[in-house]
Every structure is written in structure tokens, then in C-alpha cells.
Structure 1
Amino acid sequence: MRIIKGDPTPEELAALVAVLAARAAAPAPSSDPQRANNWASYWRNARQPLHPGPGQWRASAHP
């Protein structure tokens, strides 16, 4: 690492090195798409609006 502009203090350099080391040690993000969380998956199971009409009471029990 080389400082090309400015005059950082030793404390500032130590802080920079600590941040860069922590970033390098962090696990890489996975390439797998994330599964929907429970709140997002709730809407898949939510009921559709009921439509009045003959025989609709029977159809309301089936998704």
C-alpha cells in the first residue's frame, strides 16, 4: 500500500489497514439467489378476493 496524497498520522494508517483487513477477511457473497424471507412469501399464500356468484362458496375453499 502506498499513500500518494496527504500526510496521514500513524493512527489513521492503522485504522485504514484495519478496515481493509476486515473487508478482506469477510466471506464473499454467494452467487445463489436469496430465498424470499417469510414476509415476502406470505403474499404467495394470501387468499384471493372472493367473487360473488352461484357456486362460489365451493370454489372459495380451493386456492
Structure 2
Amino acid sequence: MSTTGKPFLQIVRGDPTPEEIAALVAVLTARAQAHAAASTDGPAAPSRWADRSRLMRGPVSEGLRPRGPGAWRASAYPR
């Protein structure tokens, strides 16, 4: 029972055995502990929306035509 006097868990249908209730409580406790541990592992990585490096422009020739000798000739050829 909780401190308010109301039951924390209430079985509304069926007739579970004490072992089934204990198994249910064990699963719920383990899940709650895993959730608490996951939320306190440390700061989460910032989202990509908050990452200000995405505002920086990349190199001009990135993904474009090759550079170097003869690049002017390759720029006229279709891909």
C-alpha cells in the first residue's frame, strides 16, 4: 500500500495466484528501474536541430566537378 492508503496495484479481472502477482510486480519494478537508469546516464546528445554546425557552409566544390588540371574541360561534360 502507498502512503495515501490507496492500493498501488489493483487486479480488476481474473483470479491471479500470488506467484503471478509477484511476477507482475517484478516485471514492473525492473522496467521502472531500467527507465530511471536510462534517464540518468548523462546528458543526451543534442538534436540535429540544435546543432549549430549545420549552419556552416561546406566547401564550394563539394559534390561538384573534379578539381585540378583539366577540370575546366570536365565542367562542360554532362555527368
TM-score normalized by the length of structure 2: 0.38
Bigger Rg, structure 1 or 2: 2
> Which one has the bigger helix percentage?
1
Could you say which structure has the greater relative contact order, defined with CA pairs below 8 angstroms and 6 or more residues apart? 1
